[in-house]
Amino acid sequence: MNNLLIHIIRLIVFVLAQGLIFGQLEFGVGIHPMIYPLFILLLPFDISPILLIVMAFITGISVDFFMNTFGLHASAAVLVAYIRPELFRLFAPRDGYDVLKEPTASEYGYKWFLSVAGIAITIHHAWFFLLEHFSWSDWLIILRKTVLSVIVTMFILLIIQILFFKKPKTI
């Protein structure tokens, strides 16, 4: 019950932060930081695939509500949820994941986090901007927006990991 409450609060915080703060920032040159995929990556390792996709859809459609993007965020969020198990399997530690730990940089290291989140965020942003433009003739704009937005988003996610997900001190 306690973990469920934590995830509901995280969902609300990520959606509000995306809709009210990061979605309103104007960086210019096509930079759009999107932090809400971190919520999907932070869900427990042992979450069922169906529940993972449902949670991703709820997250994405909630952001779509704020941003008036008609399902673009929902689509990209569901794609992240779909690839998440394979990404985690690809970067799994030798002994596997401890289901009692969270998938954070403080638990599995910054190299692991940057690898998993970097790939997930790149796929998320590429899919989002591809659907936004819906034209291969804009491939240069899509590429520029994706690369610049991924760099800024990863920087923000790294700061979030450092500030809010510190490793608990052991006695």
Residue 165: C-alpha distances to residues 25, 61, 99, 121 (Å): 24, 26, 17, 19
Which pLDDT belongs to residue 1? Answer: 55
- CA atoms of 48 and 104, how far apart (whole Å): 19
Which pLDDT belongs to residue 170? Answer: 60
Q: What is the 3-state secondary structure (H, E, C) of 66-124?
A: HHCCCCHHHHHHHHHHHHHHHHHHHCCCCCCCCCCCCCCHHHHCHHHHHHHHHHHHHHH
pLDDT tens-place values along the chain, 171 residues long? 578 899 999 999 999 999 999 999 888 888 999 999 999 999 999 999 999 999 999 999 999 999 999 999 999 999 999 999 999 999 999 999 998 899 999 999 999 999 999 999 999 999 999 999 988 899 999 999 999 999 999 999 999 999 998 766 665
